[in-house]
Structure 1
Amino acid sequence: MKKISIIMVLLFQCGIQAQSVIGSNVSSNKNILKIVDGTKGVILPYANIYTSFPKYNASATDVFDDYPNLVGGLIYNKNDDQYYKYDGFAWNPARQIQGINQSKASRLGVSSGVTIPCLSFGIGFCFSGNTPDFLVPDNKSQVLVDNLLLKNASTVTIKQNGIYDVGVSLGFTGGSFGFQAGITEFKLTLQVKYTPASDWETVVSKTNYSIVFIVDTAGNKTSSFSQTISLPAGAELRVVPEISSNAVSGGALAAYGTDTNSISSYIAARLIKAY
């Protein structure tokens, strides 16, 4: 009986210390799996499109169910040629700058949008004197986090001097009705207020277009861009939406607005280098 017990203990210890080695006969106690080969690669799981990823759910806000047991999972998407990592809430592309676990990044959603009424008679006029607020509460399932602490009571403010990669996206909704023909312009502008006493300065603008003929029901447009910019601590960021039209009209009414869905509307910032 004593001999059997000793044998069982030795086998148990060997099991604990066992290493799996591929391509070499030298094991290491620093790895569970060791692969040594300079001429061959490892093929990880892949999919043709993200809709076939594990935990895909078209009805979920971020189209994936939450599943903590899959945290750290990797899968290659052949459709856009990049790897995705699962963070417990969603699959995040490797080239995405606003991942929820990126400590030097924030991605803020729209807490209140704006309405942009338009009137066309001969030529079009649109009116908008407001900017959307990006102060919605954090929600990891929607990939909304504020790791850089950009949100103040009513502003988006940089807290640290540095070089930032800023990404902006804003969805436009609505349309027009009336006798008109031409083009509607959807414009998105990122502005910075470098000090409390300075004026707002335009950094970059992006324009999208919708062709209008009689009735414009294609008001659902998204404008987006990213820009690398040096920002001092205390600088404020805002996004200015504009709509204009060169449509020739005998009389038409339109009502556009900004979408608050975090998939199409957000501002993201990543600190590249502090100084």
Structure 2
Amino acid sequence: MKRIILIIALFFQYSLYAQVVIGGAVSSNQNILKIQDGTRGVILPYSNIYTSFPRYDAAAPDVFDDYANLTGSLIYNKNDDQYYKYDGYSWNPARQIQGIYQPKGSRLGISAGITIPCISFGIGFCFAGGTPSYLAPDNKSQVLVDNLLLKNPSSVTVKVAGIYDIGVALGFTGGSFGAQAGVTEFKLTLQVKYTPASDWETVVTKSNFSIVFIIDTQGNKSSSFAQTISLPAGAELRVVPSISSNAISGGALSAYGTDTNSINSYIAARLIKAY
């Protein structure tokens, strides 16, 4: 009886470690599942839109809940024709250039924003001062990582000389109240200080516009852009927001600020080639 039990135990142990082979006859102990067929493919899980992905949560900062047991899962999104991989925090598209595990990329959020007051009498004037600080703590749930080690105690500084893709986005909050009509310009400028002794130089400027009629209460205005640039080691980056208005007014007050939500405001960098 003991011999029979031993044989059965050995059989089940072999079955537990055996490989499943589909489309071929040659197995290997290096894999659990082997699919071999040169004429047919494998259909993995798919969805018509990302809102149907597992762990979707519209209230989460990155719209997906964290779930370590799902790490490594794949799903195909028919809507944008690409696969997504779950990294324990969110679903990442295969064609994205920035991700929390991208070793040559950083995505930094705002740690301190600024306020931009405006006043209008005939024409509008805004008084921007300072720049937002992109030194928020890393937070993988919000896709904030600093794999390039850009964050210094008080600045964003390039550590490795090379060619970079720089992406910048900044949201503006607030609005105006008063009798006015016209257009308000929300401008975003990327500047670089190439050496500690040099002046700040403008690399690119992007504007977005809001139509103002009597009351401008539209929230979440934003500007964004991407730029490829060559940067030396030690170069500093900053983003300068500004607002201007050509609205005709009999008297109006405005108060705008920079949005600290990492969905709307961030600076991202990817090292394409090191020198």
AA paired with 2:36? V
Q: Aligned partners of 1:37, 1:187: CA distance in 2, in Å?
A: 55
Secondary structure class of the residue paired with 2:58: coil
Q: Give percent identity, aligned residues only.
A: 79
Question: Is contact 1:85–1:91 with CA below 8 Å preserved after alignment?
Answer: yes
**Hey, what does 1:251 align to over in structure 2?**
251
Paired letter, 2:53? F
Tell me how large the CA RMSD over aligned residues is.
Answer: 1.7
Residue aligned with 1:225, SS: strand
Q: Unaligned regions of 5+ residues in structure 2, if any? A: none
Deviations 1:66-88 (A, max 9, x none): 11100111122223332221111
Q: Could you tell me the TM-score, scaled by structure 2's length?
A: 0.93
SS at match of 1:181: strand
Of the structure 1 ranges 222-231 and 106-115, higher mean CA displacement relative to structure 2 is found in: 222-231
Q: Could you tell me how far apart the structure 2 residues matched to 1:183 and 1:37 are?
A: 62
Q: Secondary structure at the match of 1:250?
A: strand
In the TM superposition, residue 38 of structure 1 has moved relative to its aligned partner by 3.0
One-letter identity of the residue aligned with 2:159: K
Paired residues for 1:196-275 under 5 Å: 196-275=196-275
Instruction: State how far apart, in whole Å, the 1-side matches of 2:39 and 2:239 are.
Output: 50
Match of 1:41 in 2: 41
Provide the C-alpha distance between the structure 1 equivalents of 2:96 and 2:142, rounded to a whole number of angstroms. 14
The answer on 1:128 being equivalent to 2:134 is no
State the distance in 1 between where 2:6 and 2:163 align: 63
SS of alignment partner, residue 11 of structure 2 = helix
User: More displaced, 194-203 or 4-13?
Assistant: 4-13
Q: Cα distance, 1:128 vs. partner? A: 0.5
Secondary structure, in 3 states, of the residue corresponding to 2:203?
strand
Would you say the 8 A contact 1:210–1:219 is kept in 2? no
SS at match of 2:79: coil
**Partner deviation per Cα, 1:122-143 (whole Å, 9 max, x = no partner):** 2211111211001111111111
Q: Are residue 26 (structure 1) and residue 23 (structure 2) matched?
A: no
Match of 2:194 in 1: 194
TM-score (norm 1): 0.93
Residue 167 of structure 1 corresponds to 167
Residue 76 of structure 2 aligns with an amino acid whose one-letter code is Y
Secondary structure of 1:129's counterpart equals: coil
